[in-house]
Amino acid sequence: MLKKVLLNVFYNIAIFTMIMCLFWGINKERYSIAVVAVFALALFIFFKFRLIKEIRQKAKK
């Protein structure tokens, strides 16, 4: 369970970092960085939802 908590913390930090990169890329007109940040953000959010779903299923058992 500790592994999943640490993974969740990592996902939260990664999501925050990607949001900051997205805003930075848009403000500096570096749209290629903004596009990469959007895809990475979507990926980390997807992984976080999968992790939450997995934890909920284990909690029910």
CA dihedral 7, 30, 23, 35 (to 10 degrees): -50
CA dihedral 45, 51, 56, 61 (to 10 degrees): 170
What are the structural domain ranges in the chain? 2-60
Contacts of 16 (CB under 8 A, 6+ apart): none
CA-based R_g, the chain, Å: 14
pLDDT in tens, 5-60: 999 999 999 999 999 999 999 999 999 999 999 999 999 999 999 999 999 998 88
pLDDT value of position 20: 97
